[in-house]
Amino acid sequence: MIRIISYLIITIFSITISLAQVKTEEILINNQAIQLPGTLTFSDKKSPLIIWVHGSGGVDRNGNTPQYIRQFREAVNKENISFFSYDKRTANPKNAPFLNDVLIADFIFDAQEVVNHFKDDERFSEIILAGHSQGSLFAMMALDNVDKYISIAGAGETIDKTIIRQVTSQNSDFGKLTEKYFKELKETGEIKEVDPNLMSLFAPQNQPFLASWVALNPIDEIKKVTIPTLLINGDKDFQVQIEDAENLKNAKPDSELVIIKNMNHVLKNIEKEEDNMKSYMSADFPISKQLIQTIVEFVKK
């Protein structure tokens, strides 16, 4: 009994020490007038630093409701990997006056500014840029002063093809309209008349951003990447297909491709199909352990 109690005390003490080693800093990074507040978590020991680049929408540093970024942070911190994520410019209300003419390049500049903030920080042995979903492309184009690149659920085609497929899966007529609108946007730079049902996507204020996005092809961009690259997709991801990751792999043969079993787009482990959408609205679903293991192995190579 004494031996068992001693073991428990030692185990609890070890866990406490391990948790105590993780430090937190709240950091504000400015990209001219844009404010990018974020959270850095790191240990006493020199360690690799993962910088997270968000997907589409107004995503905060923790991943909004499903909290997948917070879960990711906590998991990699346990493996002595430091982590920084920031509120996307569209998630910070203080940036509202400067968001009228946002283009894809602005998000890329944000990622570059964050990397520049940490590039000479001697607490970190290397910098890894991890881009999720839309952020896969942003990160892919912001790799100066970066040692490794991770694409998680990144598109392997131009965004018009992805959006047309997603809309078509919900309504074939709207899918045809979406294809027509993208054709008009690419040819003329604007869409003159938009069906009210598709206004949230093709509203006039969104069109310059979409035009700047559709002009970029991830297949062309990943061919320019010269650093070690890890491509990840989940087999329960209904937003980005496994084929997208395979397309990226074919364009960059020396990259590493891993398909994560039972992982969806918000990186949660999904055992039941009915839980896939539910996981977008809840932090109760666990992050994929295989995802964390895959990334830890890649980072520590």
d(CA 156, CA 251): 9
**Residue 73 to residues 52, 78, 84, 90, Cα–Cα distance (Å):** 10, 9, 8, 21
Lowest mean pLDDT: which of 1-10, 178-187, 263-272?
Answer: 1-10
How many residues are given for the chain?
A: 301
- 1 pLDDT more than 80: no
pLDDT in tens, 156-180: 999 999 999 999 999 999 999 999 9
- Closest to 160 (Cα-Cα) out of 129, 193, 132, 191: 191
Max Cα–Cα distance, the chain, nearest Å: 79
Q: 53 forms bridges with which residues in the sheet?
A: 131
* 208 neighbors 101 (Cβ within 8 angstroms): yes
Residues 170 and 254: beta-carbon distance below 8 Å: no
The pLDDT tens digits of the residues spanning 129-155 come to 999 999 999 999 999 999 999 999 999
The CATH classification number of 23-158+216-299 equals 3.40.50.1820
Rounded to 5°, angle at Cα 184 from 178 and 189:
120
User: Do the strands 82-86 and 148-152 form a parallel or antiparallel pair, or are they unpaired?
Assistant: unpaired
Dist. CA 125–CA 122, nearest whole Å: 7
Summarize pLDDT for 32-56 with one digit per residue, the tens.
999 999 999 998 789 999 999 999 9
